[in-house]
Amino acid sequence: MNKSVKYGVVLVTASSIEEAETIANALVEAKLAACVSIMPIHSIYTWQGQKHKEQEWQLLIKTDLAHFPALEEKIRELHSYEVPEIIALPVVAGSQPYLQWISEQVESTTYTDTVSTV
């Protein structure tokens, strides 16, 4: 059974607080995100055969997933990484007043793509 998902949280990591704030400000100003929370994190990963341990900045982007294509495009335009983390997670339940607030902050869209879960 498919269940249509409207709201989501998009995870993005950035190399610096400046880059994270630049991306966050651009997404909110473009009305692609209602809110972006930024947190310092430590990441351990392998890139091009080498293990890395880095301080990064985690962006937690609250949005209407109908905007994901434009949101991803804007992030790629501003991001310094060759392969940035851009992962959308569905919000399966939430406070109705908060979800309504997200809708009010994110402009209506003309996208016809929908995100579904099985």
Q: Which residue has the higher pLDDT, 79 or 2?
A: 79
Q: What three-state secondary structure class fits 48?
A: coil
Q: Which CATH number goes with the domain that contains 50?
A: 3.30.70.120
Query: Would you tell me the crossing angle of helices 17-29 and 68-78 to the nearest 10 degrees?
Result: 140
Task: Report the domain count for the chain.
Answer: 1
Q: Check pLDDT > 70 for residue 115.
A: no
What is this structure's pTM? 0.85
Q: What would the pLDDT profile of 29-53 be if each residue is shown by its tens digit?
A: 999 999 999 999 999 999 999 999 9
Is 118 inside any structural domain? no
Is 41 inside any structural domain? yes
Residue 115: strand pairing partners: 5
pLDDT tier at 112, thresholds 50, 70, 90? very low
Q: Who's near 69: CB < 8 A, 6+ residues apart?
A: 111, 113
Is 60 inside any structural domain? yes
Is 81 inside any structural domain? yes
Range of the domain at 69: 11-105
Is 6 inside any structural domain? no
Q: Strands 35-47 and 115-117, how do they pair?
A: unpaired
Greatest Cα pair distance in the chain: 46
- Hey, what's the torsion of the CAs at 85, 46, 81, 116, to 10 degrees? -20
